[in-house]
Structure 1
Amino acid sequence: MLILSRKKGESIIIDGNIEIKVLEIQDGKVQIGIDAPKNVDIFRKELYKSIQEENIEAANIRLDMDQVSQIWKKKK
């Protein structure tokens, strides 16, 4: 892990095209801005972990084909 110190208004650059800038420091909180290409997904860590868990859960669901057939018939 790389540890850097930055002051308000200072930035770091990642991979030449992602800029993370310290916008505000107040009451023990740091507000940051992230400038990245549109194809780069940016998530808060807790949200990212939740998405991963839901994807794993969805991938492990076993479908009962009788239930699927019943649902399909209801939609027609």
Structure 2
Amino acid sequence: MLVLSRKKGETLVIDENIEITVLAIDGETVKLGISAPKNVDIYRKEIFEAIQQSNQQAAMDVKQLSQFKQFHEKKD
């Protein structure tokens, strides 16, 4: 992990097309502004993990439904 120190108003550049700017610092809270192309998805980590978990559950549900259908097709 790269660790950098930035002050209010300073910016980081990632891959020439993503900019992260420190907008404000209030105690232990840092407010960031992110400029990125529209095709770049940006999520808070807890939201990203919830999406991944939901996708995994949906994939398992689809697999179980498929197995259920195959089982009943064989019975008929």
Q: Distance in 2 between matches of 1:50 and 1:28?
A: 24
| Superposed CA offset, 1:12-54 (max 9, x none) | 0000000000000012110000000000000000000000000
Show structure 2 runs of 5+ residues with no match. 70-76
Q: Distance in 2 between matches of 1:20 and 1:44?
A: 14
Report the TM-score when normalising by structure 2.
0.82
Size of the aligned set, in residue pairs, is: 65
Report the TM-score when normalising by structure 1.
0.82
Q: Structure 1 vs Structure 2: percent identity of aligned residues?
A: 57
Q: Which of the pair is proportionally richer in helix?
A: 2
Show structure 1 runs of 5+ residues with no match. 66-76
What is the match of residue 72 of structure 2? none
